[in-house]
Amino acid sequence: MAKQFGVSDAALDGLKDPGHHPFPPEQKAAVLFADAMTDGPGHVPDPVYQELRRHFSEAQIVEIACVIGLFNYFNRFNNALHVEITLTDPDVIVRRVEEAATAGTPVADFCDRVAEILRQGRRYVRVGIYQRDKDRLVLRAWRGPAPPPASLRLGEGDVGATGQSGVTRVAGSALVVPVLAGSAVVGVIEVESDRSAAIEEEDRPLVERIATVLAARLT
Amino acid sequence: MGRISRLRPDQVAADIRSLFETFLRERGNIPNMFRTAAHRPEILGTMLAHFRTVMGPGTVPVALKEMLAVRVSRINSCDY
């Protein structure tokens, strides 16, 4: 959500280790205040408060402390009651993919957009989108900790097997779905989730719907 | 699995349902925390009102408030 409110990727990355990121001084003061207020019972040392006060009015500090307090409340509620991460409604994901499909974008850009919509909406650990080129499947877009192979032979691994058979495979927490134009395989979508329980009943129908939208662009 | 059941829009009273529908329209989901809190509708109502007031436009930039939310959630190992 933060990105759509104007927080840059660099700032989001910097929040992993704010002591070593060149935040503007007022942002750094607020973040260090958040750290002190969140760590343990929230006894903020005087120097941390004084630096905050140099940059913000009393009203602004009340607002900042409310944000930090509110998220500590929400986080602790969610952690204590095991409230699961919220996923985007499948119908909304399909609609977003359809909107991206009609925008007239190049295939690689469209695939990249679909990979991002899937990763973000369903919190997949990995996403790979492949396009068929004769007897190979060529990687068009991916998300995850490391890039998958740039190209696979039909029959090679789970992705290649689905490319050959045209049949969806569920392998543990991974789901491999063919993109079909009639009976011909024109591509493959692979996703991996850390919620393997929901793969069959929730993720499979969703990714198969996405595959039908993708089919029109991969042929 | 959550420890507390999450209520669906068809399981809540009309006023809460319209709040849920607003979420669905604006962000494509209903946060599980709010579906959980819906077991106590009066609390959910003021929780949402407080959330919007605190996180909406005020005296500091909304982007800074989002950064603080991300940072706090990270420290608390909570996937915001």
Residues B25-79 pLDDT 10s: 887 789 999 999 999 999 999 999 999 999 999 999 999 999 999 999 999 988 7
- In this model, does residue A217 exceed pLDDT 90? no
**Residue A1: predicted pLDDT:** 66
What tokens were used for A161? 């097997």
**Mutate which of A68, A78, A87 to test chain B, going by most B C-beta atoms within 10 A?**
A78
Cross-strand partners of A178: A188
Q: Do B28 and A89 touch (CB under 8 A)?
A: yes
What tokens were used for A28? 């750094």
**Residue A59: predicted pLDDT:** 98
What is the complex's ipTM, to 2 decimals? 0.94
Going by pLDDT thresholds of 50, 70 and 90, the confidence category of residue A31 is very high
Closest-CA distance of chain B to residue A195, Å: 10
Contact list in A for residue B79 (CB cut-off 8 A) is 85, 123
B32 closest CB neighbour out of A15, A71, A83: A83
B32 closest CB neighbour out of A6, A79, A84: A84
More confident residue, A123 or A127: A127
Pairs of CB atoms within 8 A across A/B: 133
Instruction: Supply the mean pLDDT for chain A.
Output: 92
Going by pLDDT thresholds of 50, 70 and 90, the confidence category of residue A71 is very high
Going by pLDDT thresholds of 50, 70 and 90, the confidence category of residue A103 is low
Q: Do B72 and A56 touch (CB under 8 A)?
A: no
Q: What angle do CA A203, A173, A110 make, to 5 degrees?
A: 50
Which of these, B2, B31, B36, B76, lies nearest to A195 by C-alpha position? B2
**Mean pLDDT value across residues A48-52:** 98
Closest-CA distance of chain B to residue A63, Å: 7
**Mean pLDDT value across residues A31-37:** 97
- In this model, does residue A65 exceed pLDDT 90? yes
